[in-house]
């Protein structure tokens, strides 16, 4: 099973470089155009459904992709919602280090919970779509932490993900069903294939070098 983890299209807060988090900011016209353009690229491969986070910017991106690719629009999964940034939401990214040098925003979802939650979302999608190829529209931070949870690297060392960038992951395990066919297991391990369109093997070196530079705890 292959899932494409796609960051939603642009919003006005993305354009202004504001922290967005769970604040439900809609797509702007550029974001809608990005989704339409991305559909052409996704059409080069077979896909079977589109699912998303429940936030409006992800849901609308998913709906545009589904419409242009003539695919069913599947469920919205709460596990795929963006990280909660608490009182930092709406703040200019450029002001974060001055106001919160340790990124300890009041009301912030703990970083270590984000990737775990993302993996639970992947497992739910895998159960619901049983071995097919699915486009999964979510959020930049959620996707980076989910990829990091799979590979064991620090999410902060993953590259920034642009709007409509796509990172592919694959389920590594399968189980035999009663009809003899192979089915993905519900506790499937995952493998990162690409990060924002770049083969993971080409990203791995940068992740490992960044990890070596991290101070010992």
Catalytic residue among 82, 89, 109, 123: 82
Catalytic residue, candidates 8, 129, 139, 168: 8
Clarify whether 8 is annotated catalytic. Answer: yes
3-class SS letters over the chain: CEEEEEECCCEHHHHCCECCCCCCCCECHHHHHHHHHHHHHHCCCCCCEEEECCCHHHHHHHHHHHHHHCCCEEEECHHHCCCCEHHHCCCEHHHHHHHCCCCCCCCECCHHHHHHHHHHHHHHHHHHHCCCEEEEEECHHHHHHHHHHHHCCCHHHCCCCCCCCEEEEEECCEEECCCCCEEECCCCCEEECEECCEEHHHHHHHHHHHHHHCCCC
Can you tell me the distance from the alpha carbon of 27 to that of 108, in angstroms, rounded to the nearest whole number? 23
Active site residue 116: no
Q: Which residues are the active-site residues?
A: 8, 82
């Amino acid at each position: 099973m292959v899932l494409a983890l796609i960051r939603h299209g642009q919003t006005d807060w993305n354009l202004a470089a504001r922290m967005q988090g769970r604040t439900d900011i809609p797509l702007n016209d550029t974001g809608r155009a990005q989704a339409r353009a991305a559909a052409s690229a996704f059409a080069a491969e077979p896909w079977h459904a589109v699912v998303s986070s429940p936030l409006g910017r992800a849901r609308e991106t998913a709906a545009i992709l589904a419409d242009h690719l003539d695919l069913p629009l599947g469920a919205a999964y709460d596990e795929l919602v963006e990280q909660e940034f608490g009182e930092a939401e709406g703040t200019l990214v450029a002001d974060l280090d001055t106001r919160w040098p340790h990124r300890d925003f009041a009301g912030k979802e703990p970083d270590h919970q984000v990737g775990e939650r993302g993996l639970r979302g992947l497992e739910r999608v895998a159960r619901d779509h049983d071995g097919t190829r699915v486009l999964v529209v979510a959020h930049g931070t959620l996707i980076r932490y989910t990829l990091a949870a799979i590979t064991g690297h620090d999410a902060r060392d993953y590259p920034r993900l642009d709007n409509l960038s796509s990172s592919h992951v694959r389920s590594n395990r399968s189980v035999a069903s009663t009809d003899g066919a192979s089915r993905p297991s519900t506790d499937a391990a995952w493998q990162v294939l690409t990060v924002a369109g770049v083969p993971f093997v080409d990203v791995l070196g940068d992740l490992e070098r960044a990890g070596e530079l991290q101070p010992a705890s």
